[in-house]
Amino acid sequence: MGRVDWLLSKMTLQEKVGQLNLVTAGQVVTGPSGSGDVMANVRAGTVGGVFNIWGREPVAVLQRAAVEESRLGVPLFFGLDVLHGFKTIFPSPLAEAGAFDPLLWEETARAAAEEAASEGIDLTFAPMLDICRDSRWGRIVEGPGEDPLVGAKFAQAKIRGFQGAGLSSSVALAATAKHFCGGGAAQAGRDYAAIDMSDRELHETYLPPFAAAVAAGCAAVMPAFNSLAGIPLTAHGALVTGWLREKRGFDGVVVSDYTAIAELVEHGVAADEVEAAALALKAGVDMDMVSGCYLRLPEALSRGLVAEADIDAAARRVLALKEKLGLLDDPYLRLAPARAPRKTWSELALDAARRSIVLLMNRDALPLDANIRRLAVVGPLADARAEMLGPWSAAGDPAKAVTTLDALRATWTQGDVLHHRGVDIDGGDASGIGAARALCETADAIVLCLGESAGMSGEAASRAMPGLPGRQRELAEAALSAGPPVVLVLSSGRPLMIADLIERAAAVVASWQLGDRTGDAIADVLLGRFNPSGRLAVTWPRDVGQIPLHYAQRSTGRPPQSTDPFTSKYLDLPNDPLFHFGYGLSFASVSLKNLRATPEEFDDAPVRIEVEASNDGKVATEATIFLFLHDAVASVARPVMELKEWAKVALAPGEARTVSFLLDRSHFQFLDRTLEPVVEAGDFDVRVGLDADSRSALETRIRLRGPTLAADRPSDAITDVPG
Ligand code: BGC
């Protein structure tokens, strides 16, 4: 008998359900209620894991109580939301997704895992893999953006990074793919709201990142708070057990979200917490985060709502995770002597921050001119240390964060840096606007730092009107009419809908929330020390009324035509976004030509797509080249464009390079009318561009010959994404 089964055989029913109980210890607060006397419960053997606590001493104290004072001495595991860094904070996930760089995604996760593991953390509640096409939803900041392929590659890279060479390593964290699934489509962008979508949408768009996460070996999965077509995900047996475990072969731990099991009562699918516990357990949820309902499973057993075998199966999975994490061999594995922070992590944070910045507009205002003598750095985000880290900044230290003002003052030597915050991020006080404007009038150029506080995105941070909060718009008007050119630097966790202001600025930089080195990275871009290479991982709408807006819209029988009113469009806004998915400028100018496919007609062989990319500018640059497919005629109307591959290419000034992509059958498959994967013969339009704007993409048509074939693997599993 293995150790796990041996332990299980020794456990009382109460100890078994204790393993399923995940409690919060409260070093940070990430939900509405706490977990009572954690120490007493650990000693009683009714706690399986603890989260929101870190540091060698606090963790060791609890672990010692579990190992030395509970009857069987089963070690705890310790969890934390390490999404984009532990103490060293990297860019928020949505920002980092825009680097379109799986190696970078992996590297930052690796660094975060090493740092967190050295302070006792065993498991992270990350990566967050919610595809999202609605920037009202505050949690859009936590995930990879709007595209399932990006989401799948992001999932794999993050899981490789967090889990490293293997879970038993003292520097690995178990990863938790969350929130399973569809939370990014919560109705009207309201957090926790119901989700209602077609099965096709679910399988084509929202599940692929989770399939990729399972294929990458993620240790845990967390169901979303929401209900999907009336069934709360916490009680969704068809998805949690059916799809995740049985279809995808997931064999790890399913951990509920914060009090989500108790919330089944509020959802109206359970009469009381005992029923709620039974529903979740039966659906395949192993661990109960904070609600305490699973401690009442013995009552569910006596009411006949669950079988002891269900409890055993969940407890076995939790114990198996502890074994994989090396905790049964050494409960103190991740409590090695504290290491001094590694300089390379901070350098990596700078590198990641720079590569996540998206230059949205530039009318020759950037890099800032060498003749500028007086630079006005204005706005509430210019020197707002605490806002630079973004939400879910774990054990990050806002005092360490570098602001734009800090970095410009430290490194801009050609004249004076003047500063006025003008207004607060939020609130009604406009009394500083006059002075800020007066300062702007005396300057040669203005860096206007506007946007959101860190708490305006993330959980419980939906915004019906994601524009500039408080009196910032008035400050923007004042700066834009002061005379000198305005470089608008936008700090936010989502695209901000301020098209009119963006169009009037001389340059616009989306700086998201970039972590510890935010200001350094922004200054490097403003001063031309770094040539921006970030791209939008999410379409940037003109206005809220366009939401949900994303590039992969499904075809319609009446595609928009300017001359025909009876086509799919608005009377009062264009269909086009302000900035397309994949968009981002640099200080160079890249052009694409000579798109060719070899062969143009093919049976089963891979087809090679080549394009020539040239840097027509005067500085070295890194271009991101996207390949989209459109299935011209299929048994199901397909999106007008679907991202199938992308490549990044470094180009010296004047250099041209051929970029090539290889498409195999899997690139052409989709779900047929019965949601079974299929590859259908016929014509496909290949579009290759610098973003998802089909008007500027190069296009060629290729033909897949031969019979329609069932695909060899499901379309909702993008499992072979290259690293
Ligand atoms: C969030 C999760 C998070 C958990 C633990 C919840 O409120 O939805 O994403 O992992 O809290 O902090």
DSSP secondary structure of 134-174: -TTSGGGGGS--S-HHHHHHHHHHHHHHHHTT-TTSTT--E
Residue 256 CA to ligand 1 center (angstroms) comes to 9
Q: For residue 125, which atom of ligand 1 is closest to its CA?
A: 10
257 belongs to the catalytic site = yes
Beta-ladder partners of 228: 195, 231
Eight-class DSSP state of 128: B
Helices (H), 341-454: 343-356, 404-411, 433-441
Beta-ladder partners of 50: 23, 78
Give the global pTM: 0.97
**Residue keyed to tokens 């997931």:** 250
pLDDT of residue 338: 65
pLDDT of residue 36: 75
Q: For residue 179, which atom of ligand 1 is closest to its CA?
A: 9
Cβ proximity of 252 and 323 under 8 Å: no
Q: For ligand 1, is residue 583 a contact (CB within 6 Å)?
A: no
Phi–psi pair at 560, nearest 5 degrees: -60, 135
Residue 462 CA to ligand 1 center (angstroms) comes to 15
Atom 10 of ligand 1, residue of closest alpha carbon: 125
The residue from 101, 257, 286, 516 that is catalytic is: 257
The C-alpha angle with vertex 515 and arms to 512 and 518, in degrees rounded to 5, equals 70
At residue 558, what is the residue type?
Answer: R
Q: For ligand 1, is residue 258 a contact (CB within 6 Å)?
A: yes
pLDDT of residue 717: 52
Task: Round to whole Å and give the CA distance between 274 and 296.
Answer: 6
pLDDT tens digits, residue range 419-444? 999 999 999 999 999 999 999 999 99
Tokens linked to 91: 């860019």
pLDDT of residue 720: 41
Tokens linked to 535: 């791209």
Q: For ligand 1, is residue 31 a contact (CB within 6 Å)?
A: yes
Task: Round to whole Å and give the CA distance between 51 and 29.
Answer: 10
DSSP, collapsed to helix, strand or coil, labels residue 32 as coil
**Ranges of residues in the chain whose predicted pLDDT is under 70:** 30, 338-339, 707-723
Sorted by sequence, the CB contacts under 8 Å of residue 543 that are 6+ apart come out as 497, 499, 573
pLDDT of residue 712: 53
* β-strands 227-228, 231-232 pairing: antiparallel
Tokens linked to 345: 């992590």
For residue 328, how many other CB atoms are within 10 A of its CB? 17
pLDDT of residue 148: 98
